Structure 1
Amino acid sequence: MIPAGVERSNPAEGFITHQLLYCRVGIGFHLQILMNGSVSGVHEPSEYSLLKVFAMRPGVVGIRGVKSQLYLCMNQEGNAHGMKKFSNECLFKEQIEENHYNTYSSMNHTGFFLALSKRGQLRKGYRVGRNQACTHFLLLKKRELP
């Protein structure tokens, strides 16, 4: 169920300034990047869950927190975190799965997926796979700022 005030993003409509990455696991969470660089899920959208997802090349994206101004990256331990400077660790392969959800896997660390637990906590990227609900995200657009 998609929360009120948000709708599925449509790339054909052009550039969308504010986006949300909604994970369907548990009660449903929006990915957020906090000022200290920590990454987690929050049930209700917040200013830290507003993101810019931008294409680097076909099928490869970068993700930046609108409020925190930090780029989402994944290190060699499989931990996602926010960084001020964009690097290869901040590149994600965006793949649309059969169920129409997107998965985001690290371009720098093969087989590492962005994932949230059923409690909204970050899961290590190497402990999950593309077929698990914890890795399934919808890219939503926010109609208005909170």
Structure 2
Amino acid sequence: MLQFAVLNAALFGLVLSLTTCVCELTPVPVTQPCVTALAEDHGSLLRGLWMQHIRDRLRGNAPPPVRVYSKQKLLYCRVGIGFHIQIVQDGSVGGVHTPTEDSVMKVFAMQQGVVGIKGVKSGLYLCMDEEGITRGVEQFSDACLFKENLEANHYTTYSSLSHPGFYLALSNRGELKRGNVVSRNQACTHFLPRDDEL
């Protein structure tokens, strides 16, 4: 009788262990009663939100992206005397030494290491086209996605996800530079996200 009880306990433990492994390895909808599914996987959540955004775009109905982990920042470029990037109402992008309301950006994560940038005052998204020109636009698209990379000098670079090797950059005079004529090693592409102090 004791051996039978021990065998039952061992079998129950094996079944429980297998069930846990299946829950961890199999994508389970949130509605299913799996204990592991209740521990929200942020990576899966962001991928799901991004796929929903793509589906909406294919249907011709692209809402603004879900702002997950969004923060208001000033993006300071260390080139020249130092400039804060800004998006003005007409969509033009440039830099100013002393930050203004047009310099306040909302940086929001779309997936790990990929962000969108929106001017708080202008309401425009920062986008880069196939010619490396950056501008502010009303409609969010793939061109508005940037890879956020922390460099060895602790500055951050923003490269176009749609156009690899194209970087957000300002000149020594604070003017916008084309993203396809600069590299991540140049100071003009190095930004320091600073808390909004305005």
The interval holding the TM-score normalised by the smaller chain is 0.7 to 0.9
1:18: Cα distance to partner? 2.6
Which consecutive aligned stretches of 4+ in structure 1 deviate over 2 angstroms post-superposition? Answer: 15-18
| Deviation readout 1:44-79 (Å, 9 max, x if unpaired) | 000000000000000000000000000000001100
Residue identity opposite 2:126 in structure 1: L
TM-score, structure 1 normalization:
0.87
Match of 2:137 in 1: 83
| Count of aligned residue pairs for this structure pair | 130
Higher relative contact order (CA 8 A, sep 6+): 1
Larger radius of gyration: 2
Residue identity opposite 2:115 in structure 1: V
Match of 2:169 in 1: 115
Residue identity opposite 1:25 in structure 2: V
Aligned pairs (5 A) from 1:59-78: 59-78=113-132
Residue identity opposite 1:49 in structure 2: S
Match of 2:110 in 1: 56
Whether 1:26 and 2:48 are equivalent positions in the alignment is no
| Structure 1 stretches lacking a partner, 5+ long | 1-14
Alignment partner of 1:18: what SS?
A: strand
TM-score, structure 2 normalization:
0.64
Cα distance change on mapping 1:60 and 1:16 into 2, 3 Å = closer
| Deviation readout 1:12-42 (Å, 9 max, x if unpaired) | xxx6743100000000000000000000000
Measure the CA separation in 1 of the matches of 2:125 and 2:104. 12
Residue identity opposite 1:76 in structure 2: E
